[in-house]
Amino acid sequence: MFDFDALSRAIARRTVLCVGDLMLDEFVYGEVSRISPEAPAPVIAVQRSETNIGGAGNVARNIASLGARCIFVGLVGEDEEGAKLKAALSKEALIESILVCDPKRPTTKKVRFVSEHFSTHMLRADWELAVPAADDVEQELIDSILPLVPRADIVLLSDYAKGVLTPRVIRSVIDAARKLGKSVIVDPKSVNFAMYRGATLLTPNRKEFAEATRSRAETSDSIAEAARDAMQLADCEAMLVTQSEQGMTLVPRNGEAVHVPAHPVKVRDVSGAGDTVAAVVAATLAAGAEWETALRMANAAAAVAVSKKGTAVVSPAELRRKILPPASLAAEEKIIAAGISLDPFLSDWRRQGLRIGFTNGCFDILHPGHVKVLTAARGACDRLIVGLNSDASVKRLKGSGRPVQDEGARAEVLAALEAVDLVVIFEEDTPVKLIGEIRPSALVKGGDYTREQVVGHEIVEAIGGQVLLVEVLPGFSTTSLVNRARGGKA
């Protein structure tokens, strides 16, 4: 297993140059309950619609969602759809977009009509001119792209066969990238893989691969066999074949093929899943990852993408939850940053009739006295929330030499305890605001406090809750441990 967090940090330091066919995706959601009296066609009662940046633009959005910078080059028409895409891309902080305008063609637009209840696509309507860019526009694209290649760590070509990636544009970009030692990833549309000759990696889906190689591509072994010849033709280093519910097969030119099964997931919408795969592969390889790591990252990202409606992006947090085993996530998923609403947890627990308990502290160095209080607190409730003072709060309360451990480390240690269900970081000096939000049935503190000294006791008692004081273990305090460690008196 690779170090996901280290890889994510490396991705955030990389820049991907993405070139391809931009389009506007619109999804019209509604219910189908009757057949039209005018023709044997279903009538969809529209409930809502949404528009997204689609095509290669969705690749760019996924790159940015992972934390990498993306330089994006695309083509739009001089129309309302083109204006919408320009405006939408301008709001993406990590995307630098260079959009060439061709007033002689419409901006590509796809409208999908979807049954809300069944999540089924009923119809798709396309507005497009799927012909290669005119010579002058083609030259403008090349002139826009080539100066950007030196700024990128990797180049990604997203081909939807809508006119941007002409043979001349493809050849110019691949040659420029290879001259500078940059890898080129291609999500191909043409069945003539020789068009992408010199690219580092091709990522066709099974249908595209079968048509290009004239093979059935039914098993990972047959894919590997056909890919060997295809790689010779395309002069590429590897080929990644996506196979929907059957997973993905990576075939390196020098090495054994690797197949990974798809993650089990409820598929809501496959729109843009290939965009997500290409984006994740490019960002991961740009960060210096091995082939198999890129494969596993892409496979997990695809599972996240298809579980969402519409043209979706995948965040590092979603990807992390899909990749890492549950035991690795158990602690961190208990941690709630300051300012994040607890309503989803509180509502769910109350709906189940569970008693919610609360205790708080700095927990700078966790010791047996803390453990005793936490264990007793959990025994007094069904779900225990621990309020944790932020670093700034601890410094104000304990002095400039504290905390010894930052809030992330303190929260992680607390969250690893079985007795703790949630750790909530708060910025204030006292947790009174947090207690008011939680309204716990039990408020627990160490016996070195009196009931009147326990912050929030009035709130809890006013709703019929209990304030419980747990006898402290003698000889244990964080202050004495810190002093002892620093050579002072305990």
CATH number for the domain spanning 363: value is 3.40.50.620
Do residues 275 and 360 share a domain?
Answer: no
- On the question of pLDDT at 119 being above 80, the answer is no
Per-residue pLDDT of 302-361, as tens digits, reads: 999 888 877 889 999 888 878 876 555 567 788 988 888 898 889 888 888 888 999 999
Q: Which residue, among 142, 129, 153, has the nearest Cα to 19 in the 3D structure?
A: 142
Residue 483: the pLDDT is 59
Domain boundary, last residue among 325, 357, 392: 325
DSSP 262: P
CA distance 237 to 22: 27
Do residues 258 and 376 share a domain?
Answer: no
> What number of other Cβ atoms are within 10 A of residue 124's Cβ?
11
Give the torsion through C-alpha atoms of 113, 119, 121, 126, to 10 deg: 50
- Residue 372's pLDDT band (cuts 50, 70, 90): confident
The answer to whether the CB of 272 falls within 8 A of the CB of 312 is yes
Return the active site residues.
275
Mean pLDDT of the region 364-387: 87
Is the model more confident about 487 or about 65? 65
pTM of the full structure = 0.72
Q: Which residue, among 404, 374, 378, 382, has the nearest Cα to 391 in the 3D structure?
A: 404
| Tokens encoding 22 | 């931009």
Domain with residue 239: its CATH number is 3.40.1190.20
- On the question of pLDDT at 474 being above 70, the answer is no
- Residue 480's pLDDT band (cuts 50, 70, 90): low
Per DSSP, which regions of 412-475 are E strands?
Answer: 422-426, 442-446, 466-470
Do residues 340 and 313 share a domain?
Answer: no
- On the question of pLDDT at 248 being above 60, the answer is yes
- On the question of pLDDT at 288 being above 70, the answer is yes
Pairing of strands 238-242, 201-202: parallel
Listed in sequence order, the DSSP H helices in 112-205 are: 135-145, 167-179
Query: Is residue 432 domain-resident?
Result: yes
Its domain, for residue 359, covers 332-485
Do residues 350 and 287 share a domain?
Answer: no
Mean pLDDT of the region 414-421: 88
- On the question of pLDDT at 210 being above 90, the answer is yes
> How many domains does the chain fold into?
2
Percent of the chain past pLDDT 70, that is, above it, reads 94
Q: What is the largest CA-CA distance in the chain?
A: 91
Do residues 212 and 343 share a domain?
Answer: no
Residue 490: the pLDDT is 46
| Average predicted confidence (pLDDT) for the chain | 90
Give the torsion through C-alpha atoms of 197, 203, 205, 211, to 10 deg: 10
Residue 4: the pLDDT is 87
Do residues 310 and 342 share a domain?
Answer: no
Mean pLDDT of the region 424-442: 94
Per-residue pLDDT of 70-99, as tens digits, reads: 999 999 999 999 999 999 999 999 999 999
Query: Is residue 490 domain-resident?
Result: no
Do residues 313 and 401 share a domain?
Answer: no
User: Hunting for tokens 């993905």 — which residue is that?
Assistant: 248
Domain boundary, last residue among 292, 325, 358: 325
